[in-house]
A and B are shown apart, each in its own frame.
Chain A
């Protein structure tokens, strides 16, 4: 079965960077897009961006342009999301979520990681 396992919780100081990993198993890694979605405490879901694990191409939400980098390692079926210049407002749970079969973009996010809490505090 499809499984997405994320790295553990992080505590960072303002201005630092954080890198969250998401290891996929149970399907052909390079065939499906992977998304990153975050959720601040008590708030809704916010889409951050998408990576095509096959070629590594990315699209980022405008809000995170310049601060987020999504990469992948096909040898370990792992995607990474790095967010830089952290501020307190970045305190949130960060989820990876499997998207659709490449190249279709219109489908749902059918499997989700367990979430990684990133706390930004001085």
Chain B
């Protein structure tokens, strides 16, 4: 089955730029979506289709992809950005959707 790999944790000081990666086989041919989940809440999509920002998501959130790695970049990190972040794709070969293991962003 298809696997997405994320680092378990990323720490960043306020005002700095945080980057969270998501790796997977032939990821370049898939659309990657990113979700933010705060404790006790449902996930919220912050980036879809690799780099599109849904309405209401701050411009500080951006997405990119190079080869088999997608990256969620959070500029000028704020305390309120502290959350778990998940990448997700649709694997057409299995017709299954897959989530990465999640990355906990800690704002120092």
Q: Which residues of A contact B (CB under 8 A)?
A: 35, 37, 44-47, 50, 59, 61-62, 95, 97, 105-110, 112-115
The reply to whether B42 and A108 form a contact with Cβ atoms under 8 Å apart is no
17 further contact pairs, Cβ within 8 A, besides A45-B43, A47-B96, A113-B42: A37-B99, A47-B99, A61-B96, A62-B1, A106-B49, A107-B48, A108-B35, A108-B49, A108-B88, A109-B33, A109-B88, A110-B45, A110-B48, A112-B43, A112-B44, A114-B42, A115-B42
Cβ-closest chain B residue relative to A33: B97
Contacts A50-B97, A59-B96 known; A45 to B102 CB distance under 8 Å? yes
Cβ contacts under 8 Å, A46 to chain B: 99
In chain B between 1 and 36, which residues have their CB closer than 8 angstroms to a CB of chain A? 1, 30-31, 33, 35
Cβ-closest chain B residue relative to A61: B96
Q: How many B residues, CB 8 Å from partner?
A: 27
Interface string of B30-72 (1 = CB under 8 A from A): 1101010100001111001100001000000000000000000
Contacts A108-B33, A108-B88 known; A95 to B42 CB distance under 8 Å? yes
Cβ contacts under 8 Å, A50 to chain B: 97
Cβ-closest chain A residue relative to B46: A108
Cβ contacts under 8 Å, B48 to chain A: 107-108, 110
| Selected A-B contacts with CB under 8 Å, 30 pairs | A35-B97, A37-B99, A44-B84, A44-B86, A44-B99, A44-B100, A44-B101, A45-B37, A45-B99, A45-B102, A47-B88, A47-B96, A47-B97, A47-B99, A59-B95, A59-B96, A62-B94, A62-B96, A105-B92, A106-B31, A107-B33, A107-B48, A108-B35, A108-B45, A108-B88, A110-B45, A112-B44, A113-B42, A114-B42, A115-B42
The reply to whether B102 and A105 form a contact with Cβ atoms under 8 Å apart is no
Interface string of B76-90 (1 = CB under 8 A from A): 000000001010101
Cβ contacts under 8 Å, A95 to chain B: 42-43
Cβ-closest chain B residue relative to A35: B97
